[in-house]
Amino acid sequence: MKVKVLADILGANDRVAGENRRLFRDNGVFVINLMSAPGAGKTSLIEKTIQALGDTCRVGVIEGDIATAADAERIGRTGVPVVQINTGGACHLDGNMVRAALGEMDLSALDLLIVENVGNLVCPAEFNVGEDKKVMLLSVAEGDDKPLKYPLMFRESSALVINKTDLVEHTDFDMEKARRDSLSINPSLSIYPVSCRTGDGLGGWFGWLKEGVAGAS
């Protein structure tokens, strides 16, 4: 019975996500669904991305958080359009929440829409919001055991950004193990070790995004 209920919820979500996807396609917008644990640096990665690509690419952001508009205020300071979703307790974004946020966003004025999911390593991967690609962000401070412990996030993602490489020498994080384990779950994953603090390695990530934007326009 429980299985049937879950299937109904996911089925209903996929219908709404499909409608979102049609809207994104009609407007030629490349959409990523950015997922990570709390504190991995999603908002910092978005800030760096806007600073680097904002001149050549029209970026918009949807911020998902359980509470507060803190992240939308941070992104708003960069000058790009941003909408905050407060889930009021729900631990992931779904198609309906993103659909509601799209009412506040002019898709025809965007090339790239970044959806920052609620910080959580479990259910964000189960709910499509209509995105082109899911992106997983892992920070070295979380440990290199996360790919094997939370495989769905890594399986569903097209790109894996590994943040806070500037801290790696202060941790036991084994970059080669993280790579190997991630690729064992998802061999087609594009992996970008970066430091949002120093800017190290971000060029590869920007290149991946630009390719997606070019493909969607």
Q: Of 43 and 49, which has the nearer Cβ to Mg ion?
A: 43
Q: Of 63 and 94, which has the nearer Cβ to Mg ion?
A: 63
Is 43 among the residues that bind Mg ion (CB under 5 A)?
yes
Query: Shortest distance, CB of residue 13 to Zn ion, whole angstroms?
Result: 12
Backbone angles phi, psi at 157, to 5 degrees: -85, 155
Query: Shortest distance, CB of residue 64 to Mg ion, whole angstroms?
Result: 9
Query: Shortest distance, CB of residue 178 to Zn ion, whole angstroms?
Result: 24
Give the H/E segment covering residue 136: strand 133-139
Give the H/E segment covering residue 161: strand 159-163
d(CA 163, CA 140): 6
* 191, 162 Cβ separation under 8 angstroms: yes
Q: Of 85 and 112, which has the nearer Cβ to Zn ion?
A: 85
24, 32, 34, 42: which one contacts Mg ion (CB under 5 A)? 42
d(CA 173, CA 7): 37
Per partner kind, with CB cut-offs from 5 to 8 A, the member of Mg ion, Zn ion, none near residue 92 is Zn ion
Query: Shortest distance, CB of residue 167 to Zn ion, whole angstroms?
Result: 28
Q: CB nearest Mg ion: which residue? A: 43
Q: What amino acid occupies position 180?
A: R
Contact residues for Zn ion (CB under 5 A)? 91-92, 123
Give the side-chain half-sphere CA count within 13 A for 113.
33
What is the chain's Cα-based Rg?
17
Q: Of 89 and 187, which has the nearer Cβ to Zn ion?
A: 89
The dihedral region occupied by 193, where left means phi > 0, alpha psi between -120 and 50, and beta the remainder, is: beta
Per partner kind, with CB cut-offs from 5 to 8 A, the member of Zn ion, Mg ion, none near residue 71 is Mg ion
Contacts to Mg ion by CB under 5 A: 42-43, 71
